[in-house]
Chain A
């Protein structure tokens, strides 16, 4: 089965760090840009970060720039999101989503991993 599986979420205090992983099975991510999208409880979708096919280009939403880092391990077919200086408003379900080849849309999403930032 083709799927993306996120892991690494949990409860962290403000100021803490966390690393999320997105593991692909049944497909290779080496030919796709990959993105992280988050959804706060009861709220809408918010784009967080993207990484290009080669891993040389990274883009971030203003709200996480300088605190989050997206990276990829092509050999292990895994995308990471390193999160530092966590804040309460980072609390959300974090989805990994693969871009179409174009890349003009996200054509495969994982089930998400929950991050809760609270003291």
Chain B
């Protein structure tokens, strides 16, 4: 099973960024999203498609339907720059990560 993300997304400060993750019948699976700032470890920002862990700003939201999951970041700030990975579970392989999307705030 594979999930596909765009290589890069650019957004202006204060605008809304959307990052997609595509896979066959992805809407039937739970999707998680991770933020990885340069030189740092990944951090969970969305789980079960739409839920935010404690400490993650409300600006981060998620959706998942059909073949596409989307991470939306509203009022984007410079600190949101980094790589974002979607993740889904399937029988083989067990856990699947997307290739990652580099978010640039310019």
Residues of A within 8 A of B (CB): 35, 37, 44-47, 50, 59, 61-62, 95, 97, 100, 102, 104-107, 109-112
Contact = CB atoms under 8 A, between A and B. Distances in A.
B41 A47 contact: no
Contact of A45 (B47, B48, B53, B100): B100
Given A95-B42, A106-B44, A109-B41, A47 B94 contact: yes
Given A45-B100, A104-B48, A111 B95 contact: no
Given A105-B32, A112-B41, A44 B97 contact: yes
Contacts, number: 59
Nearest to A109: B41
A101 to B, nearest CB: 11
A104 B30 contact: yes
Contacts of A44: 83, 85, 97-100
B41 A45 contact: no
A29 to B, nearest CB: 17
Contacts of A35: 95
Interface string B36-79: 10000111100110000100000000000000000000000000
A112 B93 CA distance: 22
Contacts of B94: 47, 50, 59, 61
A104 B89 contact: yes
Nearest to B48: A104
